[in-house]
Structure 1
């Protein structure tokens, strides 16, 4: 489910409990990632995983596992650039360094990491339906950005059984908004009001630190930790009516999480592996545009899961998580999964899992918590909001041998009480608020029910030792079952993609030069825009090719050409008349650069 995936680094949450990036910027709290050279592997778990991970894991989990502290000093460096053929798009440049090694024999280890990213200003123009070239605005023309991440980790091996880890990380994302590329800079409106709400720069800072203990003993293992996350957004100002408190001041958007958790894995006899644990999470947020300006909520949880080996080739996993939320009370998220291996090559599996996610605390107030339309239209909270929940069924078959693999997965997900907004026109009555005094107003609501069902297919073949061909296909059929807006019932969910196809081939020459080519198709993404009578966005096909060259054991070069056929996303506009005003709509669901060249130089010592 798009937007409902929990991102972890070494099992630690990277998202924040507060809404620090309103108006489409909230995913920025997940954009602070470590240097690629520090990553050992990435684990992806599809489907609801709230049993083990709690709220936010409603659509799955991505866990980025970084390298352990080395027993000898190792350093990796990388320089990269993305160069656009069309000079209207700004180029991007990056650099990173990762170093790890011992400080005191085998007892104390240190890791250092740093990443820098710079993007030039873009000046993209678009062709509208009349053939005119018009400047892009906001997300259509990426703005200048300068982002960095720096962190360190100290690992202390107290003895053969106990390890203590202290990690601290700071990131800053700096965006230029001098020309309103991200949003309209604050300016006077009618009757003493202010609209816009953006400053000339947007600067988002993130600070994460944790202390953890890992114990591996004869009969069980345990991992416990105390984590503190803080994200601040310094690029927004208070707008609204003249009576709005703090009008014209910085919104001082700050979110803080304190997380205390523990998990133990206990083998029980020959056939059971029990995982038990608990979590306490306190979420705080401040935003001066809301009243009250400060909110907080806590969550207590305990969970247990058992992997039962019925036979050597048959395993049954079942468990549940009990949550007590300060506002939403009690919730139980169970999960059950069966894995059967009739042969060494064939795996059959299937199960049922559940998920839930609570609303941001600021959306529960009985007043305005944000403004849309560049500061003109208030968005009101709703104290009666419910938590979002899902129930997922999955069945899969995987065959894998030395020559090829094939996989097929069928899934059905029932999604309930999705949080959305309802529109109210001027002078309409808003429940619990009163009359809408703006041209339009919005209020947070629970959307209703959506059903997702589909199939995922995967295949790969290695007919030669150095040749790999991989294929992936996803079919998704979504349908809105219940909704406040009756006109969308029976239709696909907005922006849902029906067909997604990927084909990639690579061949390695002498284990030194590895060229590859890749094609991606996106077909039938639902648009549902009745103004231009278009049901689906335009289909997209993108091709790319590249090569990796291992110069020696220390140095390698990666090069690639993305959007090989220079597909344009700037000429797909259609228009309609809205109260005598011509409104243009992009019939592609996203804006992407044309043909561009990527190159990176990587060294390891």
Structure 2
């Protein structure tokens, strides 16, 4: 009865959105006439057209973002070639962004060119997406630029896989204006409904002198029925959450050539753990965890909610001189994770203060000072800059009064040389001196040749460099896994990870047609992976680690440099303007990842689908009404890595039941938007239109007992594979003022 009612409600609401009368006459925006030479800034730090940018870059416009639902940044990137957001789900329900087969940790997220990633790890055990904070209100975003491939030359560590730069709208220098938008997602089946409201406004306080911008967003998600009926283990269907993000920016025009600005932002994300979705709750009045320990609290490491708080303060200036443009900023970023506790029952009494269920402090502070100068010298466009970073991470897992600190300074230069009117060469390099690893030079070179007015050829070599987090270098305990049962220790011997990326692309564009093909090869060295080693106190083997305080633990988690790996693939994207009001665009990716040395040689670096395809079409019915339809296809992924004989007996049984595959899929979405007035716009979409079920299971027998395994995802210590909610309706009302 409930499903029938919701199904009827979905149908009526969407038909209303798709069937509004065509009586208005103000423009909704002819997206079919989008300028294929759109200007971007992330590839070089200076403005240039996409076709001439020395990188593989995709732009998401404000209009594209406003016409779909995006609970998080990853969902906005689903249709971009070379981008995979479907390989796993965090405990929060958030998705990971993998660029060209590189793990999510190698994607650098920026807002207006300023780093959002934290330097240290304070979001352990499946909540890593919270470290970046939430996306600004969509109405405040001007565009999102996505670069696939290393950009460490300009942006340093973490940019090894690529860069996502969220560029916000400038403060209005004329009249006051803004936007307020409310939206909801209504699920037909077991999902938790969401509600979100966002606003942004800006204008002058003192005309032409002082301006201000205010922005904010509130998000609330209801509880969803658990996919895992027994109520234990990782569950891809998220629970209750309540998040907000609020910020302001002030600008001071000292004169027509000099501007000062101040930006403040605070975000708070709260995820309920009342049903153990985030981790096993600490439990009082239980028997001893092992002989010799007192009874009472059994701490597994989790309270009834996980809370992530992030605050940023940035002060900067922009100065225009006859010789060029000088930009600088200083930013303090502070992040904290609450709701984690210290597991109890796996140590000796003299160390028990660390493991008695007290709050586990998890904080990170990053200070960044960045300055750069851009100038034109003849046919050279030159960017010269420097950056200083000071980082502090605290994790009580390492002990009281222990702080992980590191700092670095860097100098970088990049030159865009216009050799000929149709031929440009970009060369650059970054020298970084790190307190733990000394100096390292990261170069890149890229050639862009406009062979004709329609055909552009590009190619280049870029390098990436990523230092380990300060937590991972600690000579001692730095965390737990397995609900507090398995200790992990740091690895002071870790080396920075390095990569070299080769790519070659061709773009052909006319007024109505645009197609780009790109081949890439990314060679990865000293990749950091997790493994288990013997505890010398239990098994005194050659490569064991002595952890005498943990006599009940036979193995210990530790990270090491795996050796070499590579990702390679081909990306194809195209757009056809069939008429002035109707366009079709698509993106295809073929990709393979492989570890090429060490004991895991031949295994995948990440479990990526060999084939991925996205298609999208949109039609402007008239000046106010637009409809769109899209499809997403992903091929199968491998469920387990390595040979079947090396798997546990339980995993071998699942291997047989599934053919060692995480099932591929195709999903479709349908949407529409209508502008009732110049100020009022209503949008709607049905997501997962044909109601594909991602909780499908296969039945098998193990040790004589009936078992089930999920076909699209692998829910073990982490969630691999794909989970997409069943059919749901998104509704949005947006008002400009």
Report the TM-score, using the length of structure 1 for normalisation: 0.94
User: Which of 72, 77, 80 in structure 1 is aligned with 2:180?
Assistant: 77
Q: Higher mean Cα deviation, 504-513 or 224-233?
A: 504-513
User: How do residues 274-353 of structure 1 correspond to structure 2 at under 5 angstroms?
Assistant: 274-291=382-399, 293-353=402-462
Tell me which of 585, 589, 592 is aligned to 1:477.
592
Of the structure 1 ranges 182-191 and 382-391, higher mean CA displacement relative to structure 2 is found in 182-191
The 5 A counterparts of 1:513-592 are 513-528=625-640, 530=644, 531=651, 532-533=654-655, 534-573=659-698, 577=702, 584=709, 587-588=712-713, 589-592=721-724
Q: Secondary structure at the match of 2:235?
A: helix
1:468 to 568, 573, 583: 583
TM-superposition CA deviations, 1:173-219 (whole Å, max 9, x none): 01111221210112463243854101111111100010001111111
Give the match's secondary structure for 1:52: helix
Alignment partner of 1:391 out of 485, 496, 500: 500
Residues 609, 634 of structure 2: 8 Å contact kept: yes
Would you say the 8 A contact 1:239–1:289 is kept in 2?
no
Q: Post-superposition, which runs of at least 4 consecutive aligned residues in structure 1 deviate over 6 A? A: 578-583
CA contact (8 A) 1:319 1:335 kept: yes
8 Å CA contact 2:695–2:712 kept in 1: the answer is no
Aligned equivalents of 1:576 and 1:495: distance in 2? Answer: 26
Structure 1 residue 432, shift from structure 2 partner: 4.5
Query: By percentage of residues, which structure has more helix?
Result: 2
1:595 — aligned with what? 727
How far is 1:574 from its partner?
5.7
Once residues 210 and 516 of structure 1 are traced to their aligned partners in structure 2, the CA distance between those partners, rounded to angstroms, is 39
Contact kept, 8 Å, 2:232 with 2:276, in 1: the verdict is no
Taking structure 1 as reference, are residues 463 and 592 closer, same or farther at Cα in structure 2, changes over 3 Å only?
A: closer
What secondary structure does 1:37 align onto? helix
Q: What CA deviation, in whole Å up to 9, does each residue of 1:245-301 have, x standing for no partner? A: 4322111100000001101101112x1011010110011011111147311100110
Change (3 A) 1:425 1:580: farther
The whole-number CA distance in structure 1 between the counterparts of 2:546 and 2:328 is 45
Instruction: Tell me the C-alpha RMSD between the 2 structures.
Output: 2.0
Distance 1:136 1:517, change over 3 A: farther
CA distance in 2, matches of 1:437, 1:32: 40
Contact map agreement 1:366 1:432 (CA 8 A) in 2: no
Q: Which residue of 2 aligns with 1:130?
A: none
Cα distance, 1:437 vs structure 2? 3.9
1:501-512 equivalence runs, <5 A: 501-512=613-624
1:2 maps to 103
Residue number in structure 1 paired with 2:316: 212
1:416-443 C-alpha deviation (Å, 9 max, x unpaired): 1111111236734454535774154211
Asked whether the equivalents of residues 506 and 516 of structure 1 are also in contact (C-alpha less than 8 Å), the reply is yes
Q: Distance in 2 between matches of 1:27 and 1:236?
A: 16
What corresponds to 1:228 in structure 2?
332
Aligned equivalents of 2:468 and 2:705: distance in 1? 38
Q: Helix, strand or coil: the match of 2:635?
A: strand
The structure-2 alpha-carbon separation of the partners of 1:496 and 1:437, relative to structure 1 and needing over 3 Å to count, comes to farther
Aligned residue number for residue 178 of structure 1: 274
Note if contact 1:83-1:597 (Cα within 8 Å) is conserved in structure 2.
yes
The 10-residue stretch of structure 1 (360-369 or 393-402) with the greater mean CA deviation from structure 2:
360-369
Higher strand share: 1
Report the 3-state secondary structure (helix = DSSP H, G, I; strand = E; otherwise coil) of the residue aligned with 2:691: coil
Tell me if the contact between 2:250 and 2:262 (Cα under 8 Å) persists in the aligned partners. Answer: yes
Q: For each residue in 1:210-252, what CA deviation from the matched residue of structure 2 results, as whole angstroms up to 9, or x when unmatched? A: 0001111111111101100000011101114243443221111
1:354-413: CA deviations, max 9, x gaps?
001111101111212110000000111100001111100000000111111111000000
Q: For 2:347 and 2:212, how far apart are their aligned partners in 1?
A: 54
* Range 242-251 or range 116-125, more displaced: 242-251
Deviation readout 1:147-175 (Å, 9 max, x if unpaired): 00011000000011110010000010011
TM-score (norm 2): 0.78
- Compute the displacement of 1:583 (Å): 8.2
The equivalent residue for 1:114 is 216
For 1:45-60, what aligned pairs fall within 5 Å after superposition? 45-60=147-162
1:246 to 334, 346, 354: 354
Q: Is the contact between residue 474 and residue 501 of structure 1 (CA under 8 Å) also seen in structure 2?
A: yes
Q: Distance in 2 between matches of 1:576 and 1:237?
A: 37
Q: Classify the secondary structure of the residue corresponding to 2:628.
A: strand
Q: Which residue of 2 aligns with 1:141?
A: 237
Map Cα deviations across residues 121-153 of structure 1 (whole Å, 9 max, x no partner). Answer: 111345xxxxxx654754333110000001100
Structure 1, unmatched stretches of 5+, are 127-132
The structural deviation recorded for 1:541 is 1.0
Pick closer, same or farther for the CA change 1:578–1:395 going to 2, 3 Å: farther
**More deviation, 182-191/347-356:** 182-191
Q: Unaligned regions of 5+ residues in structure 2, if any?
A: 1-101, 645-650, 714-720
437-446 or 301-310, larger mean C-alpha shift:
437-446
- 2 CA distance for matches of 1:550 and 1:393? 45
Q: Does structure 2 conserve the Cα–Cα contact (< 8 Å) formed by 1:282 and 1:299?
A: yes
Bigger Cα displacement from structure 2, 403-412 vs 239-248: 239-248
Select which of 407, 430, 433 maps to 2:546: 433
- The CA distance in 2 between the partners of 1:181 and 1:434, in whole Å, is 30
1:255 — aligned with what? 364
Instruction: Give distance in 1, aligned partners of 2:317 and 2:699.
Output: 58
Tell me if the contact between 1:577 and 1:583 (Cα under 8 Å) persists in the aligned partners: no
- CA 573–366 in structure 1, closer or farther in 2 if over 3 Å, else same: farther
* Structure 1, 405-414 or 576-585: larger mean CA deviation: 576-585
Distance (whole Å) between structure 1 residues aligned to residue 502 and residue 397 of structure 2: 41
Worse overlay, 514-523 or 566-575: 566-575
Count of matched residue pairs: 594
* Alignment partner, residue 190 of structure 1: 290
Change (3 A) 1:251 1:434: closer
Residue by residue, what CA displacement relative to the aligned partner does 1:291-319 show, whole Å, maximum 9, x if unpaired? 47311100110000100000111000001
SS at 1:180's partner residue? coil
Match of 2:80 in 1: none
For residue 410 of structure 1, what is the aligned residue in structure 2? 519
